């Protein structure tokens, strides 16, 4: 059972709605969250019933569950109703669900309508990911970008921390100089996702980006001296430990703070290592994800 539907009143309200769905469609569901409206056939018959119920639902948790069923392209015909629900909704969690729904529904043809609804209500605090989509529309781009910048400047750190790396990067790449400048000003952030994005979009970071070519070879083909998987933040310290243990010199570029900024995940690079006794060693690096890197040292 969904945590948002846990009181007796909410459960009774949910069951009454589901009973109505069954009587009108012949479709049985145990919970509202189990209604798969991404199936166009189900959406066609169930969404109109859900839409009619919204104004009669007293429990905010039940409303939030109903709203969530409209996160499908099949719900675009209900855009007017969804915007009206958003205007009237007082529960913050339910309101946020509706904004997530709008992120799915926004298109070139309805972007101005969505933006005008928020603008008319003097409500600048809308989810940044929705605003990013709206900013792609030329007619409203300037206003939306100004709102995005305002949110970035005024949001508390914990709100920014809720955004994923992909979401942050999407905002950073809108192409607005003022937004890029805000990201560049965040160099001292302790948010690892924001830090990664800053290093990718800041002009000085791009100028000093370290490029090491990928290889089609694999370290498994050679005798192995070391094999580790470490956090990116520990990479330089671990590399120095291995250099001391195996007696090789670390190429200067591998100690750069921006080393992994432009790297693709799951691709190997191979770097030749110098040793005092002229042994042939290779350092292999593979970015596992945005937080970890795999290190191997081999010999011929």
Answer yes or no: is pLDDT of 181 > 80. Answer: yes
Closest CA to 240 of 232, 231, 249: 249
Segment 76-105, tens digit of pLDDT: 999 999 999 999 999 989 998 999 999 999
Average pLDDT over residues 165-188: 87
Parts of the chain belonging to CATH 1.25.10: 8-205
Other beta carbons within 10 Å of 189: 16
Give me the pLDDT at residue 81, please: 96
Give the orientation angle of helix 177-184 with respect to helix 192-201, to 10 degrees: 120
Give me the pLDDT at residue 67, please: 97
Give me the pLDDT at residue 101, please: 95
Query: Does domain 8-205 sit in CATH 1.25.10?
Result: yes
What lies within 8 Å, CB to CB, of 103 at 6+ separation is 127, 129, 130, 133
Using the structure block, give the residue that is written with the tokens 């709203």. 67
Average pLDDT over residues 243-263: 81
Answer yes or no: is pLDDT of 129 > 90. Answer: no
Give me the pLDDT at residue 32, please: 96
The mean of the pLDDT values for the chain is 87
Full-model pTM: 0.60
Average pLDDT over residues 262-285: 86
Give me the pLDDT at residue 273, please: 87
pLDDT confidence bin for 52, thresholds 50/70/90 = very high
Answer yes or no: is pLDDT of 149 > 60. Answer: yes
Question: Is the model more confident about 209 or about 212?
Answer: 212
List, in sequence order, every residue forming a beta bridge with 227; answer none if it has no partner: 296
pLDDT confidence bin for 251, thresholds 50/70/90 = confident
Question: Is the model more confident about 201 or about 110?
Answer: 110
Answer yes or no: is pLDDT of 148 > 80. Answer: yes
Give me the pLDDT at residue 125, please: 61
**CA pair distance 209, 199, nearest whole angstrom:** 9
Question: Is the model more confident about 293 or about 209?
Answer: 293
258 φ/ψ angles, rounded to the nearest 5 degrees: -100, 15
Q: Which of 79-93, 221-235, 241-255 has the highest mean pLDDT?
A: 79-93
pLDDT confidence bin for 257, thresholds 50/70/90 = low
The whole-angstrom distance between residue 181's C-alpha and the CA centroid of its chain comes to 21
Average pLDDT over residues 66-84: 95
Closest CA to 102 of 121, 122, 87, 120: 87
């Amino acid at each position: 059972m969904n945590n948002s539907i846990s009181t007796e009143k909410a459960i009774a309200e949910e069951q009454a709605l589901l009973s109505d769905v069954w009587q009108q469609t012949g479709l049985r569901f145990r919970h509202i969250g189990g209604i798969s409206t991404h199936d166009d056939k189900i959406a066609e018959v169930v969404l109109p019933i859900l839409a009619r119920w919204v104004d009669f639902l007293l429990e905010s948790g039940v409303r939030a569950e109903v709203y969530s069923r409209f996160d499908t392209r099949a719900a675009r015909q209900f855009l007017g109703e969804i915007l009206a629900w958003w205007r009237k909704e007082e529960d913050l969690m339910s309101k946020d669900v509706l904004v997530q729904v709008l992120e799915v529904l926004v298109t070139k043809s309805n972007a101005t309508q969505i933006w005008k609804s928020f603008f008319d209500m003097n409500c600048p605090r809308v989810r940044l990911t929705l605003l990013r989509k709206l900013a792609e529309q030329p007619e409203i781009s300037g206003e939306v970008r100004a709102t995005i910048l305002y949110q970035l400047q005024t949001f508390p750190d914990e709100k920014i921390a809720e955004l994923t790396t992909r979401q942050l990067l999407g905002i950073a790449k809108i192409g607005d100089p003022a937004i890029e400048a805000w990201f560049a000003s965040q160099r001292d952030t302790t948010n690892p996702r924001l830090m990664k994005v800053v290093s990718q979009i800041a002009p000085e970071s791009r100028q000093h980006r370290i490029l090491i070519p990928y290889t089609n070879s694999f370290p498994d083909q050679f005798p192995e001296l070391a094999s580790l998987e470490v956090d990116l933040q520990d990479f330089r310290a671990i590399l120095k430990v291995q250099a001391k243990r195996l007696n090789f010199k670390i190429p200067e570029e591998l100690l750069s703070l921006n080393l992994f900024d432009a790297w693709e995940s799951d691709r190997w690079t191979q770097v030749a290592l110098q040793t005092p006794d002229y042994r042939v060693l290779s350092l292999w690096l593979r970015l596992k994800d945005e937080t970890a890197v795999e290190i191997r040292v081999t010999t011929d």
